[in-house]
Amino acid sequence: MNLTRALPRSLFVAVTAVVLAAGTITPANAVGTVSNEPMTTVDPGPAGSFSWKGFNWQKRFWAGAPHYNRLVDPANVANPDARGHVKLSITNPTGNAPVGAEFLSTRKGFGYGTYSVTVEKDLRSLQKEVVWGCLFTYDPDAAPGYNEIDLCEASAWGGGAAYGESWPVSAAHGYWFDATKAPGQGGNNTVTFGVTADPVLTHRMVWEPRRITFETFAGEGYTGKLLKRTILEGSTVPVPAREAIHFNLWVTGGGGGSPATVRPESVVLRDFSFTPRPAVQSTTPAPVIAPIPLSSTPTIQGTARAGRTLSANPGRWTTGTTFRYQWYRSGVAISGATAKSYRVNVRDRNAQLTVRVTGIKTGYRSVAKTSAPTRVAAR
């Protein structure tokens, strides 16, 4: 979902990671069928399109990114079958307009804990334009920008012909943080690795304060070969917010592929589990950091037409608040558009522009507010 994914892999920022040798791992206590431990009661979230593995899920029915032509159909997510498996599909009924698939948890706010998913798919067969988003957590409203953690994303990102390169299908562990920074900067930390011939993979992620451990195993459960372990640590590791869990299958328009002619493709999810991180007992009450006490919704000023300049009015805030800005085109962050003003260009025609203003004040929790959308004139 991040714009960096449209760039050639050679431009991805290098990150510090600890990669350990393969081996056998003892299963962790988890909610779901991957673990043999007892079920734990957790909040399933409000009712949605279907229930699966103890949680409620919503099939995406609204159009938009990251699928290159913005076409998404809830029918491309099948309800759990008799085995408890969920299938996501890309369809292309006309032969020149593929339709993507996505579903997400209705619960907002999972936080620290252990996440696991078992996937049935030979990733070597993935078409070069197709992106298997797999399991990722995402909160579009987290300050100072969205946060996203990707457990098992896989793609060839269009194949690389547009850059004179040839990219194989690869998988990834990592996270994206702070939409106010340009792609490849700040907290955009990703480790990629080659795919294998294993038709079933189990992925596990342990999210802790300032640390995320990712693991990918061959087969179902944690007793198969450990194919990859990645540990990412530091201050840029996202902190819990109101993230939902997403699974998606979509098509990228970058990299030199042929997105319009993508053939039907599907992935099967066999299992999912989540176990919250146990609370740390302490005799000292945790400090309460209140949000900025006064904040208002920003507005956009100016004429929304190509060649004109728009300005963000942050509104009324508590004295001493400083601001960060991020402009969006139809809900997608515009790379580098982090100033108070934004010059409209031809790519914005017929699009909806919004600006998110993040207020920052010492001693208070940052607050992010998004303006109402402004539609850009067609000409």
As given in the structure block, the two tokens for residue 128 are: 């070069």
| Domains and their CATH numbers in the chain | 3-276 (2.60.120.200), 299-375 (2.60.40.2700)
User: Angle 335-338-341 (CA atoms, 0-180°, nearest 5)?
Assistant: 115
Mean pLDDT calculated for residue range 235-248: 91
Sequence length of the chain is 379
Do residues 153 and 12 touch, judged by C-beta distance below 8 A? Answer: no
Residue 19 has pLDDT above 50, yes or no: no
Q: Report CA 139 to chain centroid distance, whole Å.
A: 8
Calculate the average pLDDT of the chain.
84
Phi/psi of residue 89, each to 5°? Answer: -135, 150
Q: Which of 23-32, 111-120, 218-227, 242-251 has the lowest mean pLDDT?
A: 23-32
Say yes or no to pLDDT of 22 above 50.
Answer: no
State which H helix or E strand residue 357 sits in: strand 352-360
Q: What does the angle CA 326 – CA 244 – CA 355 come to, to the nearest 5 degrees?
A: 15
Residue 154 has a pLDDT of 97
- The pLDDT score that the predictor gives to residue 8 is 36
* Residue 343: its H or E element: strand 341-343
Buried b (16+ CB within 10 A) or exposed e, 60-75: beeeeebbbbebbbee
Residue 130 has pLDDT above 80, yes or no: yes
pLDDT in tens, 248-306: 999 999 999 999 999 999 999 999 999 999 876 555 665 666 777 777 889 999 999 99
The confidence score (pLDDT) of residue 342 equals 93
Q: 105-121: per-residue pLDDT in tens?
A: 999 999 999 999 999 99
Note the pLDDT tens digit of each residue in 307-357.
999 999 999 988 888 888 998 998 888 888 889 999 999 889 988 999 988
Nearest to 335 by CA among 147, 174, 186, 180: 180
Ramachandran angles phi, psi of 149, nearest 5°: -120, 125
Name the residue type at position 352: Q
| Per-residue pLDDT, 182 | 55
CB 344 within 8 A of CB 310: yes
